[in-house]
Amino acid sequence: TKRIFSGVQPSGTPTIGNYIGAMKQFTELQNDFDAYYCVVNEHAITVAQDPAELRKNTRSLAALYIALGVDPEKATIFIQSQVPAHAQAAWMVQCLTPLGELERMTQFKDKSAKQGSVSAGLLTYPPLMVADIILYQTDLVPVGDDQKQHLELTRNFVERFNNRFTGKKEEGILTMPEFYAPKEGGRIMSLQDPLKKMSKSDENQKGFVSLLDDPKVIMKKIKSAVTDSSGEISYDKENKPGVSNLLTIYSSMSGRSIDDIVNEYADAGYGKFKQDLADVVISVLEPMQARYDKLMESSELDDILADGAKRANEVASETLAKMEKAIGFR
Ligand code: ATP
Ligand code: MG
């Protein structure tokens, strides 16, 4: 069976953007793939984190994976820092990656512009992501559109590494991964600024709906989402980015097509549309939140994570050994 790998940073509580762009696909793909879902806490510390918050968010994110439907019997759920091969492989990847490639990355440019002091780790984030992916000999990486550039970098790395270190008659040491994003919803926009990506680390809480927001809060945030003054519900990303974003969220959360939704609300007005959208979002999140609450209280979660780390370590250390041998460490 083919492998899939993906991760989310415990840099806050995941948003409906993370859910639609990536996490929703986790459950859909776990039946057909050997799946590895990671809580990437090493990525999270590329910007400042409060230790107690980071610890809390890490466990909470693992519980959310399960609450939204990832089955620990089918998929491996684990915490990145519990598999040392990630940091070890990342060092090799860094040493084989031209600095210029990293300085060009959009995420680095965006995030470094927001930071007073920029850590070296923010620049070398993509090599760590390359390590995450290659260690599991990953075929498919379900992530949002914003990670496409990092996946391209991963593909370039795999090609370069295999060309340089694999003997002529051998199969490549590393598997070439493919990018996988939903047709719609690969880039959900902020509710307060539809030209900006929705992000869980946004300081403006009104810009996102988090998966753990209260129904009342969800209603309020969606009702105050920025739209436009035309009052017409239609899908037009250029001229109506706010309404188009809400339509995308509606469609992804309900499984209905955008056309179908536009038809239903053609004469409805923004008030009614937003109210119904909030109800749709709540109907998906409420049962998930109930499962989450139960998991957080149980010791089951700790057993799942211990088992996940064991399984991930087995696979990752095998690839790490191959890389070390190729490079001349063994
Ligand atoms: P941060 O602001 O800390 O970077 P984030 O919201 O960007 O948080 P990540 O942990 O960086 O979340 O990304 C987790 C996954 O969610 C990735 O696959 C990423 O591509 C996807 N993702 C992030 N933001 C969006 C979005 N607005 N729309 C769709 N997918 C998204
Ligand atoms: Mg991000």
Q: What is the pLDDT of residues 221-279, one digit of tens each?
A: 999 999 999 999 999 999 999 999 999 999 999 999 999 999 999 889 999 999 999 99
249 is in an annotated binding site: no
Query: Helices then strands (H, E): number in the chain?
Result: 15, 5
Q: 3-state DSSP helix/strand/coil percent for the chain, to nearest 5? A: 55, 10, 35
Give pLDDT, residue 128: 98
Task: For residue 198, give the 3-state DSSP assignment.
Answer: coil
* Average pLDDT across the chain, whole number: 97
Distance CA 330, CA 325 (A): 5
Distance CA 22, CA 142 (A): 6
Distance CA 34, CA 171 (A): 21
Tell me whether residue 200 is one of the annotated catalytic residues. Answer: yes
Residue type, 209: V
Query: Considering 56, 196, 197, 237, which one is annotated as catalytic?
Result: 197
Nearest ligand to residue 201 Cα: 1
Give pLDDT, residue 170: 80
Q: Which region, left, alpha or beta, applies to residue 37 given φ > 0 means left and ψ of -120 to 50 means alpha?
A: beta
CB atoms within 10 A of CB 297: 10
- Token pair listed for 211: 């998966």
Bridge partners of residue 37, in order along the sequence:
6, 77
Atom of ligand 1 nearest to the CA of 20: 29
Task: Name the residue of 18, 50, 197 to mutate for ligand 1: max ligand atoms within 8 A of Cβ.
Answer: 18
Give pLDDT, residue 50: 98
Residue type, 29: L
User: For 53, how many CA atoms within 13 A lie in the half-sphere containing its CB?
Assistant: 11
Answer yes or no: are the C-beta atoms of 277 and 250 closer than 8 Å. Answer: yes
- Residue 172 pLDDT > 80, yes or no? yes
Distance CA 266, CA 273 (A): 10
Least confident of 76-85, 92-101, 164-173, 287-296: 164-173
Give pLDDT, residue 171: 85
Give pLDDT, residue 138: 98
Read off the pLDDT band of 116 (50, 70, 90): confident
pTM: 0.97
254 is in an annotated binding site: no
Residues composing the chain: 330
Give residues (CB < 6 A) around ligand 1: 8-9, 11, 15, 17-18, 20-22, 143-144, 146-147, 186-188, 197-201
* CA atoms 159, 25, 198, 194: torsion sign: positive
Answer yes or no: are the C-beta atoms of 37 and 70 closer than 8 Å. Answer: yes
Answer yes or no: are the C-beta atoms of 261 and 247 closer than 8 Å. Answer: yes
| 166 Cα to the center of ligand 1, angstroms | 34
* Pick from 252, 258, 194, 197: nearest CA to 226: 194
| 17 Cα to the center of ligand 1, angstroms | 7
The tens digit of pLDDT for each residue in 52-74 reads: 999 999 999 999 999 999 999 99
- Residue 164 pLDDT > 80, yes or no? yes
What ipTM score was computed for the predicted complex, to two decimals?
Answer: 0.99
User: For 97, how many CA atoms within 13 A lie in the half-sphere containing its CB?
Assistant: 30
Tell me whether residue 111 is one of the annotated catalytic residues. Answer: yes
Distance CA 327, CA 163 (A): 13
Tell me whether residue 197 is one of the annotated catalytic residues. Answer: yes
The tens digit of pLDDT for each residue in 186-234 reads: 999 999 999 999 999 999 999 999 999 999 999 999 999 999 999 999 9
* CA atoms 265, 181, 282, 222: torsion sign: negative
Distance CA 224, CA 207 (A): 10
| Portion of the chain with pLDDT greater than 90, in percent | 96
